[in-house]
Amino acid sequence: MSLKQTITHNLLNILGWRTKRHIVVIESDDWGSIRMPSKKVYDKLLRAGIRVDKCHYCMNDSIASEDDISLLFEVLSSVKDKNNSPVVITANAVVANPDFEKIKESDFSAYFFKRIDEGMKEIKGCENVLSMWKQGQNEGYFRIQSHGREHVNISRWMYYLRNDFPETRLAFDYGVYGISTTITNEKRKSFLPAFDFENNQEESIANNIVADGLKNFENIFGFKSKSFIAPNYTWGKSLERTIANYGVKYIQGSQICRYRNAEGENNKCRLRYIGKRNDFGQIDLARNAFFEPSENQDKDWIDSCLSDIAIAFRYHHPAIISAHRVNFVGTINVHNRDKNLVLLKDLLIGIKKQWPDVEFMSSDQLGDLITKNNE
What is the per-residue DSSP string for 145-172? EE--S-SS-HHHHHHHHHTT-HHHHHHH
pLDDT band of residue 366 (cuts 50, 70, 90) is: very high
Q: Looking at the predicted structure, is the pLDDT value of residue 207 above 60?
A: yes
pLDDT (tens digit, 9 = 90+) per residue, 16-52?
999 999 999 999 999 999 999 999 999 999 999 999 9
Alpha carbon distance 104, 127 (integer Å): 25
Helix (H) or strand (E) holding 11: helix 3-12
pLDDT score of 64: 97
Q: Cα separations (Å) of 313 from 18, 36, 52, 272?
A: 9, 37, 38, 18
Say if CB 196 and CB 157 are below 8 A apart: no
- CA atoms in the 13 A half-sphere facing the CB of 63: 29
From first CA to last CA, the distance across the chain in angstroms is: 38
DSSP symbol at 80? B
Single out the residue of 185, 190, 161 nearest to residue 49, CA to CA: 185
In CATH, the architecture of 3-374 is Alpha-Beta Barrel (3.20)
Alpha carbon distance 341, 69 (integer Å): 11
pTM: 0.95
pLDDT (tens digit, 9 = 90+) per residue, 289-310?
999 999 999 999 999 999 999 9
pLDDT score of 271: 86
Beta bridge partner(s), residue 284: 251
SS3 category, 93: strand
Q: Which amino acid is at 106?
A: S
Q: Looking at the predicted structure, is the pLDDT value of residue 121 above 70?
A: yes
SS3 category, 4: helix
- Cα–Cα–Cα angle for 168, 169, 173, nearest 5°? 120
pLDDT band of residue 1 (cuts 50, 70, 90) is: low
pLDDT band of residue 141 (cuts 50, 70, 90) is: very high
Alpha carbon distance 351, 60 (integer Å): 26
pLDDT score of 263: 63
Buried residues in 189-211 as b, exposed as e (16+ CB within 10 A): ebbbbbbbbeeeebbebbbebbb
Q: Which amino acid is at 194?
A: A
Say if CB 340 and CB 64 are below 8 A apart: no
Mean pLDDT to the nearest integer, 298-326: 97
